[in-house]
Amino acid sequence: MIETRDPDEASSSYNTQTRQPVLYIVSVFFIALTTLAVGLRFLSRRIGRVRARVDDILILCGWVFSVAFYICIILDVRYGGTGLHITKIMETDPHMSVVFSQLILPVGYTWMFSVVFSKLAVLSLYLSIFSVNKTFRYTCYITGVIIALNCIGAFCAGFATCIPLHKLWDNDTPGHCFNLNDFMRWVRLAHIGSDVVILLLPIPHVLRLQTTPRMRVGLLVTFALGSLGFIFGIICWVEYFITDAIADKTWSAVDIFIWSIVESGSYLIAACLLSYHPLMNLIWRRVRGTFTSKSEESSLRPSKDISGNQSSTRFGTNASQDGGGFVRLGDEECLALVDTAHPERGRGSGGILVKHEIRLDLEKQNRG
C-alpha cells in the first residue's frame, strides 16, 4: 500500500522551516571577530611605535562599514523575514517582504564599502613596505583607482535598479527594473580581478628580500592569508549564478548573506594580520623568555661537588676549570647570564641586564 502525504501537512512543514538562527550567529560572531582583529592591529602598532598612517583610517572605515553590514543583516532577519520562506511571510506578515526589498540597497552598499576600504588599506600597506619599486607603486595606484571607480559605478547603478526606485519594494508602482541577479553577479567580477592582483603583487618582492628563509616563508604565508577573502568572494559569486535571488527571495538570500559576511570579515581580518608583526614578536619574546628562565634556574640550582662542598653555580660540559680555581665559561653559559629583553620601566632606556650573580670558587686557591 502506497502511503500518501497530506498536502496541507507538507505545506505546513515547508512554511515552518527557518534559517534565521544561523544568520544571527554568523553576524554576531563576525562583529566580535572583526572588532577583536582591529583592536589587536592598533595594539600591535602601539607596541611597535608605528605612527598613524593612511591605512589606519582605511581600516577604521572598513570596520565601521563591516559592522554596519552585519547590523543590516540582523535587521533584515528581524524585520525583513530573511531566513523564512516567502509563502510563510505572505501568510503572516506581508509587510516583511516590503522591508526586505527596502534593505536590499543598504545591505549591498555596506558590504561593498567594507570590502573596498579593506582592500585599499592593504594596498596602502603595500606602498609603505615596497615603495621603492616604481612599477610596484604604479600597479598599486592603478588597482586602487579601479577598485574605487567600480565602487562608484556600482553605487550609482544601485539607485537605477528600478525607475522609479520606489518600484523596488512596491510592484504596483508604474516603471521598470533591470535584472537584479545580473547586477549582483557582475558587480563582483571587478572585485575578483582586484583580488588576484592584490594576492600576486607582493610575491616577487618577498622572494627577493635579503632575509632568512624562515622569515621569507612567514611573510608569504601572511600575505597569502589575504587570499581568504578572494576564495570566499568566488564562492559567493558562484552562489549568485546557482541561486535565484528573486524567487523565494527571503529564503534564497540566506546562503548569499552568509558567504558575503564571511567574505567581508576575511578581507578586514587579512588587512589587520599584515600589521601583527610587533605583537607577535612581543609574544614570542615573552614565551621564549619564560622557558629560558626556567631552564637557567634548573641549571644554576645549587649542587654538591665531588668533595662534598656546595657550589652556587653549576655549568654543563662547555664550562672548564683552570688551575687557579676559576671556572671558565663557554659561550652558551655566558649568554645564559644576560637578557637582552627590554628592561622594566624606570630602569633605563635599554641595554643588557645581568640576571645572575657569578660566584668564584676561591677556596681551592687558598688551600693551594
Q: Tell me the per-residue pLDDT of 122-179, one tens digit each, with 9 for 90 and over.
A: 898 888 877 777 888 899 999 999 999 989 998 998 888 888 888 888 888 888 888 7
Distance of alpha carbon 181 from alpha carbon 189, whole angstroms: 13
* CA angle (35, 38, 42) in 5-degree steps: 135
* Residue 293 pLDDT: 65
Q: Tell me the per-residue pLDDT of 177-210, one tens digit each, with 9 for 90 and over.
A: 887 777 777 778 878 888 888 888 888 877 777 7
Q: Quick one: average pLDDT of 56-62?
A: 94
158-164 LR contacts (CB < 8 Å, sep 24+): 158/105, 158/108, 158/109, 158/183, 159/105, 161/104, 161/105
| pTM greater than 0.85 | no
Q: Cis before residue 106, ω within 30 degrees of 0?
A: no
Find the length of the chain. Answer: 368
> Comparing 96 with 320, which gets the higher pLDDT?
96
Q: How confident is the model at residue 302 (pLDDT cuts 50, 70, 90)?
A: low
Where do the domains of the chain lie, and which CATH numbers do they carry? 16-281 (1.20.1070), 300-367 (no CATH)
Q: Tell me the per-residue pLDDT of 329-357, one tens digit each, with 9 for 90 and over.
A: 544 444 444 444 444 444 443 334 444 44
